[in-house]
Amino acid sequence: MPIADYQTYCKMLDNAKQKGFAYPAINVSSMTTANAALKGFADNQSDGIIQVSTGGGEFASGVNVKDAVLGAISIAEHIHRVADRYDVYIALHTDHCQPKKVESFLIPLIEETERRRAAGQPNLFNSHMFDGSELALKENMDVAVPLLKRCHAVEIILEIEAGVVGGEEDGVDHSDQPAEKLYTTPADMVEVARRLGEVEGARYMFAATFGNVHGVYKPGNVTLTPSILKDGQDAVVKEFGQDAHFDLVFHGGSGSPVEQIHETLGYGVIKMNVDTDTQYHFTRPIVHHIMTNYDGVLRIEGEMGNKKVYDPRSYLKKAEEQMAERVGQAVQDLKAVGTSLLKT
């Protein structure tokens, strides 16, 4: 099927909220990882979200170019073409864009969609994330509101974040943040609803933080408090009514206990980012391939090696398959198996 249009994307999010499941949002940085995400969703009859970060975009454009916008566009255009061969809906998203990268990353991608729409073409991306969590909440919203207005005008959903997700992702390190910054307060959530509610009719997602971190940690090293999401939602509904209930995003989903993942679904989480675990499951079979074919992948003592095992396709196929399996596990953890709008 084609990439989901705005109306279909909204139906996807509504379907998740009504039925108590969430979509894995899978970070990709190449055609191969994008293909793995597509396979993982299709194998489990789940619609899904595929996303590109600034670092992923830079990588995709090549080590000499390092152009995050060009790389993001390239991956998105590949997915637009290949998604037609699958029987699930896919939404395209960009991940964590900090304030200093808005003008160099987010705005050019919004402009690309504006250009495409003017030419009668569909949106390039369905949604973008502005991560203003490093700013004070007022400054965060002062940037987010105009961005939401611009996105709404071209049927793009904006994701925003208030509160800091710990750990490190894409070269941004929040591991030294004080504990209180890892938890979004009910007052913060009410203020986010108030400010973003100024943009009448606009659709947005909100990444509130409840002790979640990027990366995978040993059990006991991370203290998630999902009830924070419930407290915030209750405060927002009390202030503005049921229609203000957030579409929430769970960042740092890799390695989180499944029982806590399930708890967040009851509080309005409809999207969970998965990156670290899929990176590992992509790399693990490559390591196994190299270690078990050591004398074939290297030219040792004048020998020529074995082209069948040093051909990158031989191990990248295995990597794609294993990453697809991990995407499938995320679909299962989020109760999204068999929920595609095309199956209901």
- Residues with a known catalytic role: 95
User: What is the C-alpha separation between 284 and 60, in angstroms, rounded?
Assistant: 21
Which residues are CB-contacts of 110 (< 8 A; sequence separation ≥ 6)?
128, 150, 151, 154, 156
Kindly report the number of other CB atoms within 10 A of residue 40's CB atom.
26
Spatial CA neighbour of 246 closest among 262, 265, 268: 268
User: What is the C-alpha separation between 310 and 260, in angstroms, rounded?
Assistant: 42
Helix (H), strand (E) at residue 94: strand 90-94
- Output the CA torsion sign for 295, 297, 302, 304: positive
Instruction: Please report where in the chains the tokens 């170019």 appear, as a residue.
Output: 65
**Contact present, 251 and 207 (Cβ < 8 Å):** yes
Rg (CA), the chain: 20
SS3 130: strand
**Contact present, 323 and 282 (Cβ < 8 Å):** yes
User: What is the C-alpha separation between 13 and 48, in angstroms, rounded?
Assistant: 10
